[in-house]
Structure 1
Amino acid sequence: MTTLTTPRVTLRPLTPDDLPHVLAYRNDPDVARYQGWPLPATPDAVATLVSDAPLGSPGWVQRAVTLHGGALLGDVGLNTHGPQAELGVTLARPAQGHGYAHEALHALITHAFTDLGLHRVHAGIDPRNTPVAALLTRLGFRHEGTSIQSYLHRGEWTDDARYGLLASEWRGGAAEE
């Protein structure tokens, strides 16, 4: 099990006790608006997020984002495939806008490059999700392009903006706010 700690948050494996809260924020329309999971999120679907697999294992591995006191703020994920990984973040609405996503992703990216030795991390987002686009840019990601109407998302053809970051570009502490 991989647990990461920052000044304010801990990234730890999700547990069965977390699932009611995860189900609630993943079904919040404002939280789920640009996310790729089917709605409504079901108890069985969120139960698949519970895993003791270490970060860097092939496929998606999720981590709870919690305050050091234990309150669950959301989750981050790393989908490792060879020397690269896709990352994602989801925070409950009350946790948004406080820098927690930046702090959690910064820790995840640092771990990916320093501990896992990955070559590249990337993210795909709906370009209408401007707060996450700005977050990725602050973390040092470059916008690599946008595929127009490239996937069907909840009945609507949706664009996919791709962001990438190489290990050689990661400046660690320089990317912190």
Structure 2
Amino acid sequence: MSSEERSADVPEEVREAVAAVRAALPLTAGRCILREARADDAAALHAYRSDPEVTRFLGEPPLDREGVVDLLRRWRDDPAAVSVVTELSEGAGPSELAGQVVGDVRVRFRPASALAPATTSAVDAAIGYAFHPAARGQGLATESVRAVLEAVGAARARRVTARVFAPAAPSSRLLARLGFTRDGVDRAAVLAPDGSQWWDDELWSLLLPDDGGRP
């Protein structure tokens, strides 16, 4: 299916939400500059998405260069999503990463659910993220995800969801700091990459402020 055909299958309210987030970019958030991912970000993303300690909680194996190029292509061709990279401002954070891409945040929109005969034009979103190990523990991920959530809220999304494997405790703490609620746990949902144990899958959500324009 071509990208044009995929776009034609996306509801208008989802296309509008995607367009609104893209129009808000680039964003400045504390020490970070957030912009839409590009094909020439492949080397920067490979620096951390090739790291097993990063990818083990993403549900995918470490990526080689070709894998990262393919990932960026799939991100670009998804008409229901916006993929953002975080650049570290000069003079902020680890000096070896200054001015470089240190992480990515991806938001995928979908129509909100409604039981017939009710209908709604509201949209929900799912969020995911990955960051360079050297950028951890400094609040950079929190700054970045918060800024993206603000853009998603401005796009009039109703609800944002996230899934986190239970051993990824820093990710769970990040979501809690940003106001997400842990809605439940899918117990022993997935076998860990090394086959040593079954991981729980946590379900998180954030209800965004209603501006009165929904449903």
Shift of 1:74: 1.0
Equivalent residue of 1:163, what SS? strand
TM-score by length of 2: 0.69
Counterpart-to-counterpart distance in 1, 2:124 and 2:198: 27
Residue equivalent to 2:109: 80
1:167 aligns to 2:208 (yes or no): yes
The question of whether the paired residues in 1 share the 8 Å contact of 2:54 and 2:133 is answered with yes
The number of residue pairs the alignment matches comes to 164
TM-score (norm 1): 0.82
Structure number with larger C-alpha Rg: 2
% same residue: 30
2:133 and 2:48 mapped to 1: Cα distance?
A: 7
Of 145, 152, 156 in structure 2, the residue corresponding to residue 117 of structure 1 is 156
Q: CA RMSD in A?
A: 2.2
Asked if the contact 1:106–1:139 (Cα under 8 Å) also holds between the matched residues in 2, the reply is yes
- Answer yes or no: is 1:49 the counterpart of 2:78: no
Aligned to 1:14: 37
SS of the residue 1:119 aligns to: strand
Segments of 5+ residues of structure 2 without an aligned counterpart are: 1-21, 91-98, 112-122, 211-215
Per-residue deviation, residues 24-63 of structure 1 (Å, max 9, x unmatched):
21111221221112x2313333223255679xx514x321
Shift of 1:138: 0.6
Q: What is the match of residue 137 of structure 1? A: 176
Partner of 2:46: 23
Deviation at 1:124, TM superposition (A): 0.1
Q: What are the ranges of 5 or more consecutive residues in structure 1 without an aligned counterpart?
A: 170-177
- 1 or 2, which has the higher helix percentage? 2
Evaluate the alpha carbon distance shift between residue 53 and residue 9 of structure 1 in structure 2; reply closer, same or farther with a 3 A threshold: farther
C-alpha separation between the residues in 2 aligned to 1:106 and 1:9? 11
* Aligned-partner Cα distance in 2 for 1:43–1:29: 14
2:157 partner SS: coil
**Matches of 1:123 and 1:49, distance apart in 2:** 21
Question: Does structure 2 retain, via aligned residues, the 8 Å contact 1:22–1:46?
Answer: yes
* Higher strand residue share: 1
Q: Aligned equivalents of 2:191 and 2:53: distance in 1?
A: 19
